[in-house]
Amino acid sequence: MGSDDGQGDETPIHDVTVKSFWMDAYEVSVTEFRRFVEATNYQTEAEKFGWSGVFDLEHGRWERVAGATWQHPEGPHSTAKDNEPVCQVSWKDALAYARWAGKRLPTEAEWEYAARGGLKAKLYTWGDELRPDGKVLANWWQGTFPDHNTGEDGYVGRAAVGKFPANGFGLYDMVGNVWEWCADWYQEDFYSLSPASDPLGPREGQERVIRGGSWMCKWAELSQL
């Protein structure tokens, strides 16, 4: 697990053992999240706050946008498509959905094991080449960020779930498209302290772990970590 070539919180490379677990093949779609909301009358944290963060591509910065929610990801003028992965959900929102569905969020160690798809020490979920045979295998930002997205992968924003090839475990969109929540608290140096068996992350913290990158990631140097 980890990398010695990336950012500081990705080091050091270390051996981890995880027990067998199940992982959904696809990111949670807007349709699936809507079923949860309709069944439970759940209100997301963004809806309670009345706003959420939206990246302003024109000015290259995050902005606080009133009315941005899972149904309206960029604000009231926007509408999420049913087959897109749901976004604008907090860690608590994701946890509530998972519990309702009879599931749970993966630990960071489980997530990385799943993302690697059986490969070892590779940069990407499919190997070491960013574009094997010239193909783009995930939804990420091609071009100059944030000025110009060439859309080489077929999308200039979120893609419907499952539009890119699955990894070796049959899991889709483990990198790119939207970030994914893990169960763990985040701690910058946790990899140097991590237990070797089924690590659960730090006991406390200020932020939760997100992994996998998104369509907004400029990945000339992209790795899954």
Instruction: Please state, rounded to an integer, the average pLDDT across all residues of the chain.
Output: 94
Name the pLDDT band for 220 (thresholds 50, 70, 90).
low
187 pLDDT above the threshold of 80: yes
Region 6-34 average pLDDT: 96
Cα 183 off chain centre by? 12
The residue among 212, 101, 206, 218 whose CA lies nearest residue 150 is 218
What residues does each domain of the chain span? 1-21+106-225, 24-105
Alpha-carbon span 7 to 45, nearest angstrom: 30
pTM, rounded to two decimals: 0.94
Task: Annotate 32-46 with DSSP letters as a single string.
Answer: HHHHHHHHHT---HH
CA angle 101, 159, 74 (to 5 degrees): 85
Report CA-CA distances (Å) from 163 to 29, 129, 138, 140. 13, 20, 8, 13
Name the pLDDT band for 15 (thresholds 50, 70, 90).
very high
For tokens 């590779």, name the residue: 122
Q: Please name every residue paired with 197 in a beta bridge, in sequence order, or none if there are none.
A: 17
For tokens 């070796």, name the residue: 168
Give the CA dihedral 171, 9, 58, 27, nearest 10 degrees: 20
Alpha-carbon span 182 to 51, nearest angstrom: 23
113 pLDDT above the threshold of 70: yes
pLDDT tens digits, one per residue of 64-99: 999 999 999 999 999 999 999 999 999 999 999 999
222 pLDDT above the threshold of 80: no
Q: For 1-21+106-225, which CATH class?
A: alpha beta
pLDDT at res. 183: 98
For tokens 């608290």, name the residue: 185
145 pLDDT above the threshold of 50: yes
Which DSSP state fits 128?
Answer: S
169-173: long-range contacts (C-beta < 8 A, 24 or more apart)? 169/23, 169/114, 169/117, 169/118, 170/25, 171/23, 171/24, 171/25, 171/114, 171/115, 171/117, 172/25, 172/26, 172/27, 173/26, 173/27, 173/85, 173/138, 173/139, 173/212
pLDDT tens digits, one per residue of 195-211: 999 999 999 999 999 99
pLDDT at res. 225: 41
Name the pLDDT band for 57 (thresholds 50, 70, 90).
confident
pLDDT at res. 5: 84
Which of 140-144, 168-172, 220-224 is least confident? 220-224
